[in-house]
Amino acid sequence: MTLNLRIWRQKDSHAEGAIESYELPGVSSDMSFLEMLDILNEQLIGKGEEPVSFDHDCREGVCGSCGAMVNGQVHGPDTETTLCQLHMRRFKDGDTLQVEPWRSAAFPVLKDLVVDRSSFDRIQQAGGYVSVATGSPPDANSVPIPKDDAEAAFDYAECIGCGGCVAACPNGAAMLFTAAKVAHLKKLPQGQPERERRVLSMVDTMDKEGFGACTNHYECTAACPKGVPIDAIATMNREYLRATFFSKEGV
């Protein structure tokens, strides 16, 4: 098939960007979206134009590197699918696809479709862990954990940190991302001792990084390629409230 691509091109974080149009013939329905971009790039290189920059690595939906808005949709039209797992059989000959980077004040564009998501790391650094030094833990079976709790914890822990939730949110909130870690560790006995510190510190950092507030649009969970459950946010809100009452330490 032949596609009409409209792609955001921006030289670096200081430059003004703009949409450029390209016609791309020879797209096979078995290709992934990123393979389609690969052949566009081969075509551009052939013409002596700089290829489109985009983040990607595993190409199997787990590293969280890839992501773009395709016709205004996070990671394109399929549910629970990263951009690298989106396949071109989803589109047809003659389609026009507008491809843009995540848009959020907290994710500045670095080049073309590449954005800076380091704010996500800083939220995790603020408390997304259990403080356990290497070598000290007891036998892994010493504390049984109900199967259902372990499964629920996994559902939150599966977040790949792609940033799609922020890009989907009209307010640019990072609630689902932050809440996924809070809810994961809240489900497990290992997470209890630092429960209050964790949520206070992570939420505080999230706010400082310039993410917006949550006003219950639920776009985040609809866009999430891993289907991280929305109840994580309610859990985080409860945890936060509880912590502000009970925490003796503050942050």
Partner 1 sequence: MSSQFKLDSACPSGPIESRWDNHRFEMKQVNPANKRKFKILVVGTGLAGGSAAATLAELGYNVTSLCIQDSPRRAHSIAAQGGINAAKNYPNDGDSIYRLFYDTVKGGDFRARESNVYRLAQVSNNIIDQANAQGVPFAREYGGHLANRSFGGAQVSRTFYARGATGQQLLLGAYSAMNRQIHAGKIDMRTRREMLDLVTIDGVARGVICRNLITGELERYAADAVLLCTGGYGNVFYLSTNAKASNVTASWRAHKRGALFANPCFTQIHPTCIPVSGDHQSKLTLMSESLRNDGRIWTPKERDDGRPGDQVPEDERDYYLERRYPAFGNLVPRDVASRAAKERCDSGYGVGNSKQAVYLDFKDAIARDGEDAVRAKYGNLFHMYEKITDENPYQRPMRIFPAVHYTMGGLWVDYNLQSTIPGLFVLGEANFSDHGANRLGASALMQGLSDGYFVIPATVCGHLAGANLQPVTTSHEAFAAVEHEVREKTDKLLSIGGSRSVDSFHRELGLTMWDKCGMARSESGLREAVDKIRGIRESFWGDVRVLGESENLNQSLEKAGRVADFLEFAETFAVDALHRSESCGGHFREESQTEEGEALRDDENFCYAAAWEFQGVGNDSTLHKEDLSFDYVKLAQRSYK
In the complex, the residues that contact ligand FES under the rule CB under 6 A are 56-59, 61-66, 82-84
Task: Select the binding partner of residue 66 from ligand FES, partner 1, none (C-beta < 5 to 8 A, by kind).
Answer: ligand FES
Q: Which residues contact 246 (CB under 8 A, 6 or more apart)?
A: 196
Task: Name which of partner 1, ligand FES, none residue 158 binds, using a CB cut-off of 5 to 8 Å depending on partner kind.
Answer: partner 1
Helix (H) / strand (E) containing 123: helix 118-125
State in angstroms the smallest separation of the CB of 188 from partner 1.
Answer: 5
| Pick from 3, 116, 115, 114: nearest CA to 51 | 114
Among residues 134, 170, 216, 249, the one that binds partner 1 under rule CB under 8 A = 134
Cα gap 102→75, rounded to integer Å = 10
Q: Does 118 sit near partner 1 (CB under 8 A)? A: yes
Selection from ligand FES, partner 1, none that 209 binds (CB < 5 to 8 A by kind) is: none
Q: Which two tokens stand for residue 207?
A: 């706010």
Please report, as residue ranges, which positions from 138 to 177 form the binding site for partner 1 (by CB under 8 A).
138-141, 144-147, 150-151, 153-154, 157-158, 160-161
9-48 mask for partner 1 (x: CB under 8 A)? --xx---------------x-xxx-xx--xx-xx--xx-x
Question: Which residue, among 19, 11, 172, has the nearest Cα to 99 in the 3D structure?
Answer: 19
- Closer residue to ligand FES in complex, CB, 44/63: 63
- Dist. CA 15–CA 17, nearest whole Å: 6
Residue closer to partner 1 (CB basis): 48 or 94: 48
Nearer Cβ to ligand FES, position 82 or 119? 82
CA dihedral 230, 236, 242, 247 (to 10 degrees): 170
Among 72, 58, 140, residue whose Cα is nearest residue 102: 72
Nearer to ligand FES, 87 or 195 (CB): 87
- CB of residue 157 vs ligand FES: minimum separation in angstroms? 16
The Cα–Cα gap between 100 and 114 comes to: 10
